[in-house]
Amino acid sequence: MNKVAELHEVLSLSTLAPDAPLKVISDIAARARRANEAAGITGLLVFDGMQFCHHIEGPRKAVLALTERIRQDPRHVDVDILYHGPLAQRRFRHFGLGYTAADDVDVLTRLRDAGAEAALAQFLALGSTLDLDS
Determine the pLDDT at residue 32: 87
Determine the pLDDT at residue 9: 97
Give the CATH number of the domain where residue 40 resides: 3.30.70.100
Contact indicator for 30, 52 with CB cutoff of 8 Å: no
57 pLDDT above the threshold of 80: yes
- List CB contacts of 48: < 8 A, sequence separation 6 or more: 101, 102, 104, 105, 107, 108
What are 22-31's pLDDT values in tens digits? 888 888 888 8
**101 is a domain residue:** yes
User: What does the buried/exposed string (b/e) look like for 60-76 if buried means 16 or more CB atoms within 10 Å of the residue's CB?
Assistant: bebbeebbeebeeeebb
Number of domains in the chain: 1
**80 is a domain residue:** yes
**76 is a domain residue:** yes
Determine the pLDDT at residue 88: 93
Determine the pLDDT at residue 131: 56
Host domain of residue 74: 3-127
Determine the pLDDT at residue 40: 93
